[in-house]
Amino acid sequence: MDITENKKERIKELVTTLNEASKAYYQESKEIMSNYTYDALYDELVALEKETGIILSNSPTVKVGYEIISQLPKETHEKPMLSLDKTKSVDELAAFLKDKEGVLSWKLDGLTVVLTYENGALTKAVTRGNGRVGEIITPNAKVFKNVPLSVPFKGKLVIRGEAIIKYSDFERINNEIEDVESKYKNPRNLCSGSVRQLNSEVTAKRSVNFFAFSLVLCEGKDFNASVCNQFDFLEELGFDVVEHFSVTKDTVPKTVEYFANKIETYDLPSDGLVLVFNDYIYGESLGSTAKFPRSGLAFKWKDETAETRLVKIEWSASRTGLINPVAVFEPVELEGTTVSRASVHNVSVLESLKLGYGDTISVYKANMIIPQIAVNLTQSKTVEVPSVCPVCGGETKIVKENESKVLYCTNPLCQAKNIKKFAHFVSRDAMNIEGLSEETLEKFVDSGYVHEYADIYKLDRFKDEIVTAKGFGEKSYVNYIAAINKSRNASVPAFINALGIANVGVVAAKIIAKYYDYDTEKLVNPNREELSLIDGIGPVIASSYEEYMTDFKNREEILNLLKELNLTKPEESNELQSLAGMIFVITGDVYKFANRNELKKFIEDRGGKVVASVSSKTTYLINNDVNSSSNKNKKAKELGIKIIDEDTFLTLV
């Protein structure tokens, strides 16, 4: 076979591989390869197609998406939704504008949705789908956290935006899932499944947000051919829009640097930036290729990679028995920080990387945040999957879950399961016993002081041993006992959450406790059918809860524990709705509150609303740097919105 034939075969192989990855990602909400690997294979395919002139009909370079397989109603888009061409070069991004003005914004990583408003009311919501045909999800869009159901514009309005789940909400949702294997992999997958639910009630519980990024149609409205004017109009209507800046080719690099600095702490999932011509009439006049409109260009972060040497694979056990591989390598600098560890996720990924001790590996930070192994350059394949648990020495078993191999410890008495179980019990959202770290608990378990939950409240039996043990002392002991005694008065919901019942997290614990009126006698004698009918519980949680409470060993442990506790009913919030009807925007650092989320909750508890962008509807912009030249401050001043600091805000309250 000659070189040309080799290249033909490689093109076929790349097309098949990339299409399988796209299908898994867009239709099944699964990831079978990293973004880094996909981009590398895609770039290789583009180069081969250009070199050979061979472009297959199903190539991802000319084909947009896949057919939809869901049961939701489908609709053909009036205008095909083409993908943007992409670059990883800041110079290419700047050169794209030539002498024109552009608008640079986040490229959010969620699910694209098209909203239609008629006579001021939201009448239709459709997903992007394959670019030509989308799924109708109107009932679900109506329960997105920040989508206006009606707007002060009576003409027909069609906008495109990204439905996303914020990292903070993603972590909260995952923290409420006790079963490690049931946790969601990333915000994008969770959002995709949430938006396409057949039951909008499920969507409502997932905290989906919508950020507008394009105005498709606005009957009778003149924007002077300016994308920036369109964004301003959408904000005035009450929409959150993607953060954006007006740029020229000279200011593109500095603006990209701003986004690059922000992404490490940005709460919205993003996989790059989007640059479009501000003059949208000019942009549309440029037309499009078979796949890409010429009016815009996507910028994907060029991952900083570093070569290093794999030192070892650590196997980390959890309280469910799942054992995950973690790569430990010689420290390297990435994106301004030193990294030396990266999750390998599961046995399937370990095998695909063909990892071996001493191998030269290339590592990067996915989206500039999460350390990952990009490629293994030597592939010695000497790492073996352990046949025994690294914690208890019990037999391990490889199980196939969601088409991936995962490793489990089969020993029900594994210390790791117990230690993780006790660590959850004492955690902040559970019994909140300060000072009892996982390391300390491990020592207490190994020493035989703690066998069940109630034993934590009897540690005073081992005062002499604890005080004289290495690393402890009288002061440590006194602090432990004080924190333990304080936790005896925990709330009933915290107690339920502390038990670590599968599928029963913070929210479910609160709902169940309230349903049973905080009566522990009723709580330990539940009825599955009764529980499953409670709003927010359902059959899965009800089943887990009843099975846990009716297990003989669990009941015995709970009854012993209850003898040590004086559980309390949580206080009801009686906050006056002093901020009802007011709309706030928060920007900059906060000092009176732990973080912006705490300030946001403070406002919402008092009837106020917090939005992301300043508009004519904003009541106050909260910024401790009242005189800053930030975009939000400028916008507030233009609209006559009062800018206040935290002290003024608290005086207002």
With CA atoms as reference, report the closest residue to 189 among 165, 173, 213.
Answer: 165
Residue 480: CA count within 13 A, CB half-sphere? 20
The answer to whether the Cα torsion of 364, 367, 370, 374 is positive or negative is: negative
Q: Which whole-number Å values give the CA distances from 517 to 430, 522, 528, in the listed order?
A: 19, 9, 17
With CA atoms as reference, report the closest residue to 85 among 321, 297, 397.
Answer: 297
Instruction: Yes or no: say if 334 and 364 are a contact pair by the CB < 8 Å rule.
Output: yes
Report the amino acid identity of residue 89.
S
User: Active-site residue among 63, 86, 107, 166?
Assistant: 107
Please measure the distance between the N-terminal and C-terminal CA atoms of the chain and give it in whole angstroms.
79
Tokens describing residue 74: 């489908």
- The C-alpha R_g of the chain, in whole angstroms, comes to 28
Tokens describing residue 190: 């969770």
Give the C-alpha separation, 634 to 619, whole Å. 15
Q: What backbone torsions phi and psi does residue 270 show, to the nearest 5 degrees?
A: -140, 140
Give the C-alpha separation, 440 to 577, whole Å. 44
Give the C-alpha separation, 187 to 408, whole Å. 26
Give the C-alpha separation, 499 to 531, whole Å. 18
Helix (H, G, I), strand (E, B) or coil at 170: helix
Beta bridge partner(s), residue 349: none
Give the C-alpha separation, 192 to 30, whole Å. 10
Q: What backbone torsions phi and psi does residue 68 show, to the nearest 5 degrees?
A: -80, 140
Instruction: Yes or no: say if 278 and 244 are a contact pair by the CB < 8 Å rule.
Output: no
With CA atoms as reference, report the closest residue to 414 among 438, 388, 440.
Answer: 388
Give the C-alpha separation, 638 to 615, whole Å. 10
Instruction: Yes or no: say if 560 and 549 are a contact pair by the CB < 8 Å rule.
Output: no
Give the C-alpha separation, 197 to 205, whole Å. 11
Tokens describing residue 108: 């959010």
Give the C-alpha separation, 491 to 261, whole Å. 41
Helix (H, G, I), strand (E, B) or coil at 315: strand
Give catalytic status of residue 107 as yes or no: yes
Give the C-alpha separation, 479 to 475, whole Å. 6
For 349-377, b where at least 16 C-beta lie within 10 A, e where not — what string? bbeebebbeebebbbbbbbbeebbbbbbe
Tokens describing residue 80: 């095909």
Give the C-alpha separation, 430 to 175, whole Å. 12
Helix (H, G, I), strand (E, B) or coil at 363: strand
Beta bridge partner(s), residue 326: 314, 343
With CA atoms as reference, report the closest residue to 267 among 165, 163, 161, 147.
Answer: 165
SS (H, E, C) 387-433: CECCCCCCEEEEEEECCEEEEEECCCCCHHHHHHHHHHHCCCCCCCC
Give the residue numbers annotated as catalytic, written as ranges. Answer: 107
